Amino acid sequence: MSGMITVIGLGPGSVSQLTPEAADALQAADVVYGYGPYLDRVPAREGQRREASDNGEEIDRATRALTEAAQGANVAVVSGGDPGVFAMAAAICEALERGPSTWRDLDLAVVPGITSMLAVAARVGAPLGHDFCALSLSNNLKPWAVVEKRLTAAASAGFVIALYNPISRARPWQLQRAFEILRAHVPANTPVVFGHAVGRADERIRITILEAADGSEADMATCIIVGSSETRLVARPRGPALVYTPRSAGAFST
Amino acid sequence: MSGMITVIGLGPGSVSQLTPEAADALQAADVVYGYGPYLDRVPAREGQRREASDNGEEIDRATRALTEAAQGANVAVVSGGDPGVFAMAAAICEALERGPSTWRDLDLAVVPGITSMLAVAARVGAPLGHDFCALSLSNNLKPWAVVEKRLTAAASAGFVIALYNPISRARPWQLQRAFEILRAHVPANTPVVFGHAVGRADERIRITILEAADGSEADMATCIIVGSSETRLVARPRGPALVYTPRSAGAFST
């Protein structure tokens, strides 16, 4: 079987954050599969086909992409950010495992990208400077009780928490509920960062504290970072505050 | 104050994984500070000074870099991977907070990079495809009891775990002890990935299971990913197995 499939991370949005490896893999593809708004970011190439599909159709998209690769094509599948973080690489692996055994013989590569939490963190300092976790708030694919359990475990053990998929039309209350849970485990003045569409034209960053964090500030394109009790907020005369988590536990205790 | 300081992520090692944004920021700098082996990866530029320092001297390096920026230079500070993940961005923020108040007026930017766990994950499939955390095993900067508490919390709540700074000459036993703790909370056949120097000439990836994971396989340049009870290992006729964590909890339960 001569086909191949490459799952490619486009990074947060700006072409300046697309790696050369990802740009080369996009150039080489016969066809690119992805969610429409991500495909719009792929540099145009004469003769290359685009296969757009809706958000939420990941397994179907993965199956169609694998089918075409099995017929001999060089197929790219794109994700925003990193394809391995709440994105298409897991969907491709799952479709491959469930599919015909011959698919296991395909050339499969994953090209990493800058995932959203890293881009948001960079804009404000270094909130992920010490132990952290990344958690999807979507309960489409897992019970909400699992989300609550993980929020509680992570916050009580002192992890900084990056929240992906915070909200959608079908899931309007989850983020606000997550803040309520976290308030039981981390101090009210813990820094919280809302990073919307980082690296894109409509980028918007807001820094607040847990006590004042309002779930309705987020949308589907927002990644939220909630600090730990160690996370620091440093005011600056010009521009926004710095938010960072020191490398040492207790670095600022007296 | 006209100086500026940019903390730049070099990615895992290959220049094909260095973003254009990072390459441009490196070009623009008057001087580049960093750990020697990272400076060796920075493309040469006529007239640009290099200031190498040893690993473990982060706060001293940060202070010297900020001092020079405050004198008006365009200063770059480099980290392997992403500077915001167990790396120089937090050290710069900490030195800035502790330093003269005029430093808060400096132009500070952080340029994200592909962090090690993303590069390792991409090589084997999508082990970070669902909720995960990143934990440093170094007890130079936090008590070992905190590490044990976080390992236990993360594993019992079902997070996949990426281990950074797994081992060093001064910390020979921590990784083996971490595997012992994890064995009490996740199944013996949970996939474990050792990713050594990904993207560099001496890259080495090994996939095993928790029962067989041996701490002595790692060195300072290794990032380890320990799956959750949901993480799948899919054998393939050619090449290494795929390791991935499905996007849905219980995707393969009967």
Give the whole-angstrom CA distance, residue B157 versus residue B167: 25
What per-residue confidence (pLDDT) applies to B118? 98
Q: Of the candidates B141, B153, B238, which has its C-beta nearest A249's C-beta?
A: B141
Average pLDDT over every residue of B159-181: 95
Q: What is the pLDDT of residue B54?
A: 86
Q: What is the pLDDT of residues B195-232, one digit of tens each?
A: 999 999 999 999 999 999 999 999 999 999 999 999 99
**What separation in angstroms does the CA of B91 have from each of A236, A251, B2, B60, B98?**
17, 11, 22, 9, 11
* Per-residue confidence (pLDDT) for residue A197, from 0 to 100: 96
Closest CB from A87, A97, A159 relative to B133: A159
**C-alpha dist (Å) from residue B7 to A11, A64, B107:** 18, 41, 11
pLDDT at A1: 52
Per-residue pLDDT, B253? 65
- In chain B, % of residues over pLDDT 90: 89
Higher pLDDT, B55 or A107: A107
Chain A contact present for B154, CB below 8 A: yes
Question: Rounded distance, CA A224 to CA A241, Å?
Answer: 16
Q: If you average pLDDT over residues B151-164, what whole number do you get?
A: 98
Instruction: Please tell me what DSSP assigns to residue A100.
Output: -
Mind listing the domains of chain A with CATH numbers? 4-114 (3.40.1010.10), 117-244 (3.30.950.10)
| Residue A43 DSSP code | P
Can you tell me the distance from the alpha carbon of B210 to that of A65, in angstroms, rounded to the nearest whole number? 33
Q: Which of A58, A97, A64 is CA-nearest to residue A79?
A: A58
Token duo for residue A155: 């916050």
Residue B164 dihedral angles phi and psi, to the nearest 5°: -105, 160
Contact criterion met (CB < 8 Å) for A122 and B153: no
- Distance of alpha carbon B166 from alpha carbon A105, whole angstroms: 33
Q: How far apart are CA A157 and CA A66, in angstroms?
A: 40
* Per-residue pLDDT, B134: 98
In tens digits, chain A (254 residues) has pLDDT values of 578 999 999 999 999 999 999 999 999 999 999 999 999 999 889 999 999 998 878 999 999 999 999 999 999 999 999 999 999 999 999 999 999 999 999 999 999 999 999 999 999 999 999 999 999 999 888 999 999 999 999 999 999 999 999 998 889 999 999 999 999 999 999 999 999 999 999 999 999 999 999 999 999 999 999 999 999 999 999 888 999 999 887 777 64
Q: Please report residues of A whose CB lies closer than 8 A to that of B238.
A: 105
Q: Is A91 part of the contact surface with chain B (CB cutoff 8 Å)?
A: yes
Q: pLDDT at residue B254 above 60?
A: no
- Cβ of A133 within 8 Å of Cβ of B238? The answer is no
Q: Do A110 and B122 touch (CB under 8 A)?
A: yes
Q: What is the pLDDT of residues B3-23, one digit of tens each?
A: 899 999 999 999 999 999 999
DSSP notation for A216-243: GG--TTEEEEE--TT-EEE--SSSSPEE
Share of chain B above pLDDT 70, in %: 99
Check if B235 contacts A (Cβ < 8 Å). Answer: yes
Selected residue of A118, A151, A230 to mutate for chain B interface (largest B Cβ count, 10 A): A118
Q: State the pLDDT confidence band at B1, using cuts at 50, 70 and 90.
A: low
